[in-house]
Amino acid sequence: MPLTMNRDVFITCAVTGSGSTQDRSPHVPRSPEAIAKSAIDAAKAGAAIVHCHVRDPETGVPSRLPSLYREVTDRIRDAEVDVVLNLTAGMGGDITFGSTEAPLPVNAAGTDMIGAAERVVHIAECLPELCTLDCGTMNFAEADYVMTNTPGMLRAMGQMMTDLGVKPEIEAFDTGHLWFAKQLVKEGILTSPALVQLCMGVPWGAPNDLNTFMAMVNNVPEDWHWSAFSLGRDQMPYTAAAMLAGGNIRVGLEDNIYLSKGVLATNAQLVEKAVTIAETMGARVIGPEAVREKLGLVKRAPKGAA
């Protein structure tokens, strides 16, 4: 297909993630206060959307406590800068099996499997404009770990998100995830035009070579909205690749901790670099109000807010 560059681009900053990057950089935020501050700094630097996980404030390990999400949400919404809030709903689908010869029983220490309602309880409480829906089961790099998202679970979670009025950002780690996302729209569980994040180079999903990337792009319906990212040193090249192919940008410490070789980054610095790339290529970086209009989003207060 011919490339049609996106000249009105929005930037998502993935603030902290749930990986072990907190042990590799002091800039990866752990506490709700630090996560919110980093998100606010990213918004000031030009991010229209902030994508937030939460972590245990003491250990930095990933958490899904609703109280931590609520604190992050309140702090970001109380800030003087506007930004679209995107909370993860990817926690609670983790299975770590036993050995290759004795996979059952599963490894309890690495397994966290909960029901659909519990996986979105913080979404119902915080009412962000966006939340993620990992649209398929995925083998990550760990030998015995599986991120588990069955069709039944995704249908249930997707319907709950739609009923809450929170737009899912479909996380597509491979072409089959896009196939199922289109099925969810066909069934009326998700509304069209949908929003997709193309997740490239995550082991063992879609590799981040450009042929595979364009295969992913070509499987996104023309009227949908999408962004793309890759990991590590490929994060910044993918800001250009995504724009050239007609999409939007994601950067942030969830996916890459370096500003340049050997230089640790902050989220704001990564956003600033993405803004420079976009504007140098002749694009306009749009803000949160324009993104809400484009995606049909409504900013609301959390449940129980005064």
Domains of the chain as residue ranges with CATH? 8-295 (3.20.20.70)
What is the per-residue pLDDT for 51? 98
- At 84-138, the pLDDT tens digits run 999 999 999 999 999 999 999 999 988 999 999 999 999 999 999 999 999 999 9
Query: Which one, of 93, 97, 95, lies nearest residue 118 by Cα?
Result: 93
What is the per-residue pLDDT for 16? 96
What is the per-residue pLDDT for 149? 96
Q: Which residues of the chain have pLDDT under 70?
A: 1-2, 305-306
Query: Which one, of 86, 46, 4, 49, lies nearest residue 277 by Cα?
Result: 46
What is the per-residue pLDDT for 187? 98
Query: Which one, of 98, 101, 104, 102, lies nearest residue 145 by Cα?
Result: 98
What is the per-residue pLDDT for 22? 80
What is the per-residue pLDDT for 23? 84
Q: Spell out the SS3 assignment of the chain.
A: CCCCCCCEECEEEECCCCCHHHHCCCCCCCCHHHHHHHHHHHHHHCCCEEEECEECCCCCCEECCHHHHHHHHHHHHCCCCCCEEEECCCCCEEEECCCCCCCCCCCHHHCEECCHHHHCHHHHHHCCCEEEEECCCEECCCCCEEECCCHHHHHHHHHHHHHHCCEEEEEECCHHHHHHHHHHHHCCCCCCCCEEEEECCCCCCCCCCHHHHHHHHHCCCCCCEEEEECCHHHHHHHHHHHHHCCCEEEECCCCCCEEECCEECCHHHHHHHHHHHHHHCCCEECCHHHHHHHHCCCCCCCCCCC
Exposure on the CB side of residue 182, measured as CA atoms within 13 A: 11
Sequence-distant (≥ 6) Cβ neighbours of residue 141 within 8 angstroms: 203, 204
What is the per-residue pLDDT for 305? 67
Distance CA 100, CA 77 (A): 47
Task: Tell me if 15 sits within 8 A of 42, measured CB to CB.
Answer: yes
What pTM, to 2 d.p., does this model score?
Answer: 0.95
